[in-house]
């Protein structure tokens, strides 16, 4: 990070203004939360009679994103005065949160409300909320540059085991709450016309608060704590995932979406082995998922299946995984001779060959563009997986069993990944990633290891594909094209290569966003492309970088920052 | 026999089109070792730029005069392509020049998706095939039962001609020498007074000009365009560049003709017909990469320290 070099000039100019700017920014954010945000009702009528958009236009009333603004403003003020570590980073994150919330809502009102009059003044009504918020955000970000960026705070607090368990429990409960809130903000699907904007606004708020928590050192401390009590953390996390159906997000729609996310998350973890651990770029990875899905579909007893036999799901899933694994080894075999970018092209070529062959119904097993429909739903003890379930007095939403199955799938994939990563094989992969020639010199059989990476990654994808086939009930080559491969790769990179929670978070973001952004359906992929460019530009390590990768790419910068800080203290 | 000859002619024409794009890939890779995935989209954007020039900028009476309309379409398409390429280099690739190698590749994928979706959303009716204006030389020469379309002939002549000009420029001119120097060793070239930023921008511009020419000719040759053309043709072109040896101008052109011939001949004679011609190109790509990764004319890649 170039924080030292580039900001030193700015710092000298802004230094005396740091604190005043932060105070003004915080106060302004609080004020913005209380101001009206829109000059007229958006739904065929003037405020307040016909407007359904209280969220935006209720003045002096704190609801929805106004709560977020208020909270951000108060947090900025607290961060300005409280003795916290790395004040600059915290304030910068909060400033970005404020600016994003203001920008999203302001831009939405402007676009939907017909021009700038909607957020300034019209017919005697004034609404400067969004502008005040934006100014507050910008001022706060500037203030952060004035205050300067100390290294991320180090917490030396040691906890006794029961207390640590309690903290972890509380934190994971908060995570569960946040996930449920993220899924349910803005209502379900297209039910709420403002869903997209409300969701983006919430995302801005969440990003600001998370950034502040990470700046103050809490996230680092928490992840160290959970690393210390790894088994307990995993159990609690799994329990939290299984509790999701009992929260507000427990309805059929979100069970379906969450299950889809889970399938892609499991696939992304598999890809993470190939890309994140072994450092082999794979641009045709989704083909393995497609192979798994096609194999499972053909053995499912669907009417159009090529083989007229219906195998029980576990058997079909295992066959799917094995077949995908074999193809993985075949695709991986060029790694013996091909490296780097060229390998990426070979995998791309294999992916395209798969798509083309499947499209042309090769060997009559893919059914081409007609797809294989009517794959039977899974069932267990007579309970069909897509039906709702009643346990005792609690009625669980439809699709909950798929959700549970997929949570287990993701957990299993995570376990495989974690065990491999910290094993001899995983270390060999990381060594190959860092320097293949050195790894070979150290006695690692690089060829075997690289093919193994492809094989295991493809097996996991094949397994996920088998579940995908049954859950969606139909398999078409359309679901496994180049763009899906790129999306999966983006999920891995966005989350942080080589990091397990990163892959899940990345998959969740990339597959939830389209659900939430139906308003922007046409622009979705364009935003996706832009996001890829911006991520590579500003945060190539991803949102939750793997500790090892982080050490490579950031810590050196942090050390420099620390040294500079020490010097500044001495002077 | 005449079927074979006809397919050979078609293959050469397709190859000429692919060659124009492959040159852009090969030059950029030769200098900054970046697989510029977005280059195919530059070609696509140029095609739409030419169409836009014709539709909105040309006055009605000029549209009927091919000798004026066609050159102006070329100019319009090339300008759009160059602008896109320069912006892309400046804001997407340049900041990443010292990043890990994966980063620019993924950025390139992002640029590719972005450009494609941008055209889809912004250009009117871009979701369906758009007909290309009929300002190209029509009809075909008939030579012993083989039809040679005039547009195709123009395509081959322009493609080979431009490749020769480019090769001469790189081998003879001062700037060409700077390019070769930067490709060999950017740091030393810098010490010798070469401005690498300028060389790299110029490389992108050359690639964009050729892609622009290709974009217009594609429209004339196939008489309609769609937003997927960039990805598909881009992949063919990239394959051609790899086949010829990435970094080699001559290799890219010869590779492109080979790819064009494989496509038409495989579509005619291999099992599965035209549905699988795409697959055969990828099979060739994989075989080349595995057994001769430096391509037909490339130097063996040195392991970088």
- Chain B residues with CB-CB distance to A under 8 A? 33, 35, 92, 95-96, 99-107, 109-118, 120-121, 231, 235, 238-239, 242, 272, 275-276, 278-279, 282-283, 285-286, 289-291, 293, 303
Residues of B in contact with A353 (CB under 8 A): 279, 282-283
| Domain end (from A169, A198, A230) | A230
Q: pLDDT by residue (tens digit) across A331-378? A: 888 887 777 778 888 898 899 899 888 888 777 777 777 777 777 777
Does residue A558 register a pLDDT over 60? no
The pLDDT, as a whole number, for residue B44 is 95
Q: pLDDT by residue (tens digit) across A122-145? A: 666 667 778 888 888 888 888 888
Q: For the purposes of burial, counting CB atoms within 10 Å of the CB of A22, is it exposed (0-12), middle (13-18) or buried (19 or more)?
A: buried
CA dist list (Å): B135 to B10, B49, B56, B162 = 21, 15, 15, 21
The pLDDT, as a whole number, for residue B300 is 56
Closest by CA position to B130, among listed B237, B49, B18: B49
Both A135 and A70 in a single domain? Answer: yes
The answer to whether A522 faces chain B, any CB pair under 8 Å, is: yes
User: Is-contact A439 A395, C-beta < 8 A?
Assistant: no
The pLDDT, as a whole number, for residue B217 is 92
Inside any domain, residue A272? yes
CA dist list (Å): A562 to A141, A152, A569 = 21, 10, 11
The answer to whether A486 faces chain B, any CB pair under 8 Å, is: yes
Q: pLDDT class for A52, splitting at 50, 70, 90?
A: very low
The pLDDT, as a whole number, for residue A391 is 65
Both A156 and A301 in a single domain? Answer: no
Domain that holds residue A375: 250-546
ipTM over 0.85: yes
The pLDDT, as a whole number, for residue A564 is 53
Residues of A in contact with B33 (CB under 8 A): 341
Both A27 and A135 in a single domain? Answer: yes
The pLDDT, as a whole number, for residue A70 is 85
Residues shown for chain B = 305
The pLDDT, as a whole number, for residue A460 is 93
DSSP per-residue codes, A482-501: HHHHHHHHHHHHHH-TT-HH
The answer to whether A344 faces chain B, any CB pair under 8 Å, is: yes
The answer to whether A493 faces chain B, any CB pair under 8 Å, is: yes
Token output for B115:
């450009």
Inside any domain, residue A554? no
Both A176 and A265 in a single domain? Answer: no
Q: Do B282 and A349 touch (CB under 8 A)?
A: yes
CATH of the domain at A496: 1.10.3470
Number of neighbours of residue A522 by Cβ within 10 angstroms: 11
Both A65 and A164 in a single domain? Answer: yes
The rounded distance, in Å, linking the Cα atoms of A141 and A26 is 11
Inside any domain, residue A225? yes
Q: pLDDT class for A238, splitting at 50, 70, 90?
A: confident
Chain A: residue whose CA lies nearest to B96: A537
CA dihedral (A217, A268, A402, A525) in degrees, to 10, reads 90
Render the burial of B120-156: b for 16+ CB within 10 Å, e for the rest.
beebeebeeebebbebbeeeeeeeeebebbebbbbbb
Both A179 and A291 in a single domain? Answer: no
The answer to whether A364 faces chain B, any CB pair under 8 Å, is: no
The pLDDT, as a whole number, for residue A555 is 44
pTM (two decimals): 0.81
Q: For the purposes of burial, counting CB atoms within 10 Å of the CB of A107, is it exposed (0-12), middle (13-18) or buried (19 or more)?
A: middle
Inside any domain, residue A240? no
Both A316 and A379 in a single domain? Answer: yes
| DSSP H/E element including B149 | strand B146-149
Q: pLDDT by residue (tens digit) across A290-323? A: 999 999 888 877 777 777 777 888 888 999 999 9
- Determine the number of helices (DSSP H) and then strands (DSSP E) in chain A: 23, 6
Exposure of B267 in the CB half-sphere (CA atoms within 13 A): 17
Distance (Å) from the alpha carbon of B250 to chain A's nearest alpha carbon = 20
Q: pLDDT class for A120, splitting at 50, 70, 90?
A: low
Does residue A59 register a pLDDT over 60? no
The answer to whether A441 faces chain B, any CB pair under 8 Å, is: no
Inside any domain, residue A560? no
Both A59 and A122 in a single domain? Answer: yes
The pLDDT, as a whole number, for residue A121 is 64
Residues of A in contact with B275 (CB under 8 A): 356, 360
Of A352, A353, A529, nearest to B113 by CB-CB distance is A529
Residues of B in contact with A522 (CB under 8 A): 120-121
Q: Do B104 and A345 touch (CB under 8 A)?
A: no
Closest by CA position to A94, among listed A80, A105, A109: A80
Both A225 and A273 in a single domain? Answer: no
User: Is-contact A282 A457, C-beta < 8 A?
Assistant: yes
Q: Do B101 and A341 touch (CB under 8 A)?
A: yes
In this predicted structure, which of A284-288, A391-395, A561-565, B276-280 has the lowest mean pLDDT?
Answer: A561-565
Average pLDDT of the residues in A474-491: 86
Kindly state the percentage of chain A with pLDDT values over 70: 77
Residues of B in contact with A281 (CB under 8 A): 102, 105
The rounded distance, in Å, linking the Cα atoms of A398 and B55 is 53
Inside any domain, residue A235? no
Both A226 and A306 in a single domain? Answer: no
Residue labelled with tokens 């001779």: A337
Domain ranges of chain B: 18-127+134-227
- The beta strand positions in A361-441, using DSSP E, are 379-380, 383-384, 389-391, 394-396
Highest-pLDDT range among A492-496, B98-102, B191-195: B191-195
The rounded distance, in Å, linking the Cα atoms of B216 and B43 is 9
Q: How far is CA A118 from the centre of its chain?
A: 33
φ, ψ of residue A541 in degrees (nearest 5): -80, -10
User: Is-contact A290 A328, C-beta < 8 A?
Assistant: no
Of A360, A486, A489, nearest to B272 by CB-CB distance is A360
How many domains is chain A partitioned into structurally? 2
Q: Do A341 and B35 touch (CB under 8 A)?
A: yes
Token output for A122:
């019209």
Both A37 and A182 in a single domain? Answer: yes
Render the burial of A356-381: b for 16+ CB within 10 Å, e for the rest.
bbbbbbbeebbbbeebbeebeebeee
Kindly state the percentage of chain B with pLDDT values over 90: 43
Both A391 and A274 in a single domain? Answer: yes
């Amino acid at each position: 990070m170039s924080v030292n070099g580039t900001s030193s000039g700015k710092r000298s100019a802004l230094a005396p203004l740091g604190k005043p700017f932060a105070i003004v920014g915080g106060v302004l954010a609080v004020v913005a939360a209380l101001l009206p945000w829109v000059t007229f009702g958006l739904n065929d009528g003037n405020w307040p009679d016909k407007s359904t958009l209280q969220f935006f236009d209720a003045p002096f009333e704190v609801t929805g994103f106004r709560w977020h603004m208020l909270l951000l403003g108060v947090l900025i003020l607290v961060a300005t005065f409280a003795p916290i570590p790395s004040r600059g980073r915290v304030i910068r994150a909060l400033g970005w949160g404020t600016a994003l919330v203001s920008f999203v809502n302001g831009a939405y009102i402007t676009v939907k409300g017909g021009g700038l009059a909607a957020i300034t003044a019209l017919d005697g009504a004034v609404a400067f909320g969004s502008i005040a918020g934006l100014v507050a955000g910008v001022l706060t970000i500037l203030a952060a540059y004035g205050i300067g960026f100390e290294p991320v705070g180090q917490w030396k607090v040691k906890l006794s085991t029961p207390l640590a368990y309690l903290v972890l429990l509380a934190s994971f409960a908060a995570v569960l709450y946040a996930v449920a809130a993220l899924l349910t903000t803005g209502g379900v699907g297209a039910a709420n016309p403002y869903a997209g904007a409300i969701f983006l606004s919430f995302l801005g708020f969440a990003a600001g608060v998370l950034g502040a928590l990470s700046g103050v050192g809490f996230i680092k401390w928490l992840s160290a704590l959970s690393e210390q009590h790894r088994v307990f953390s995993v159990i609690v996390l799994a329990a939290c995932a299984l509790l999701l159906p009992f929260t507000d997000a427990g309805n059929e729609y979100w069970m379906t979406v969450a299950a889809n996310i889970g399938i892609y998350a499991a696939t992304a973890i598999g890809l993470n082995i190939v890309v994140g651990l072994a450092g082999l770029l794979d641009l045709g990875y989704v083909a393995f998922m497609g192979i798994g899905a096609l194999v499972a579909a053909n053995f499912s007893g669907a009417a159009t299946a090529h083989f007229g036999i219906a195998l029980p799901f576990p058997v079909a899933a295992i066959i799917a995984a094995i077949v995908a694994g074999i193809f993985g080894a075949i695709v991986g075999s060029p790694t013996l001779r091909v490296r780097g970018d060229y390998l990426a092209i070979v995998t791309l070529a294999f992916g395209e060959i798969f798509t083309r062959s499947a499209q042309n119904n090769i060997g009559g097993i893919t059914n081409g563009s007609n797809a294989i429909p009517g794959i039977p739903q899974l069932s267990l003890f007579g309970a069909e997986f897509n039906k709702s379930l009643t346990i005792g007095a609690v009625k669980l939403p439809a699709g909950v069993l798929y959700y549970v199955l997929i949570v287990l799938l993701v957990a299993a994939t995570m376990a495989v990944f974690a065990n491999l990563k910290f094993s001899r094989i995983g270390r060999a992969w990381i060594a190959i990633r860092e320097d293949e020639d050195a790894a070979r010199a150290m006695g690692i059989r690089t060829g075997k290891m690289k093919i193994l990476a492809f094989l295991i990654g493809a097996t996991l994808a094949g397994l996920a594909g088998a579940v995908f086939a049954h859950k969606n009930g139909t398999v078409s080559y359309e679901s496994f094209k180049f763009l899906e491969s790129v999306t999966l790769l983006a999920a891995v990179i966005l989350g942080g290569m080589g990091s397990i929670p990163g892959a899940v978070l990345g998959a969740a973001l990339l597959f939830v966003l389209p659900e939430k952004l139906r308003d922007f359906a046409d622009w979705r992929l364009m935003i996706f492309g832009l996001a890829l460019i911006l991520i590579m530009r500003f945060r190539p390590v991803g949102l939750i970088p793997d500790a090892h990768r982080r050490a490579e790419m950031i810590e050196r910068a942090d050390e420099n920052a620390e040294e500079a800080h020490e010097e500044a203290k001495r002077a | 026999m005449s079927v074979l000859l006809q397919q050979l002619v078609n293959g050469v024409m397709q190859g000429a089109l692919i060659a124009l794009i492959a040159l852009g890939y090969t030059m950029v890779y030769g200098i900054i070792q970046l697989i510029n995935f977005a280059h195919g989209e530059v070609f696509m954007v140029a095609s739409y730029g030419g169409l836009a020039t014709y539709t909105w900028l040309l006055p009605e009476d000029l549209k009927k005069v091919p000798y004026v309309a066609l050159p102006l379409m070329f100019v319009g398409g090339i300008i759009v392509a160059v602008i896109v390429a320069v912006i892309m280099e400046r804001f997407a690739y340049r900041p990443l020049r010292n990043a890990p190698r994966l980063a620019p590749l993924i950025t390139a994928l992002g640029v590719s998706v972005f450009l494609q979706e941008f055209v889809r959303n912004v250009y009117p009716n871009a979701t369906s095939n758009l007909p290309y204006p009929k300002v190209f030389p029509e009809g075909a020469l008939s030579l012993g039962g083989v039809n040679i379309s005039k547009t195709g002939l123009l395509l081959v002549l322009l493609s080979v001609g431009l490749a020769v000009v480019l090769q001469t420029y790189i081998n003879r001119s001062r700037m060409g020498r700077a390019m070769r120097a930067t490709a060999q060793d950017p740091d030393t070239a810098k010490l010798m007074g070469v401005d690498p930023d300028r060389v790299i921008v110029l490389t992108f511009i050359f690639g964009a000009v050729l892609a622009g020419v290709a974009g217009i000719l594609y429209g004339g040759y196939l008489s309609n365009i769609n937003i997927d053309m960039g990805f598909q043709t881009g992949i063919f072109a990239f394959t051609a560049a790899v086949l010829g040896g990435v970094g080699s101008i001559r290799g890219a052109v010869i590779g492109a003709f080979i790819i064009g011939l494989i496509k038409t001949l495989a579509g005619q004679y291999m099992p599965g017909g035209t549905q699988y011609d795409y697959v055969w190109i990828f099979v060739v790509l994989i075989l080349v990469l595995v057994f001769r990764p430096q391509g037909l004319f490339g130097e063996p890649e040195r392991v970088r320290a």
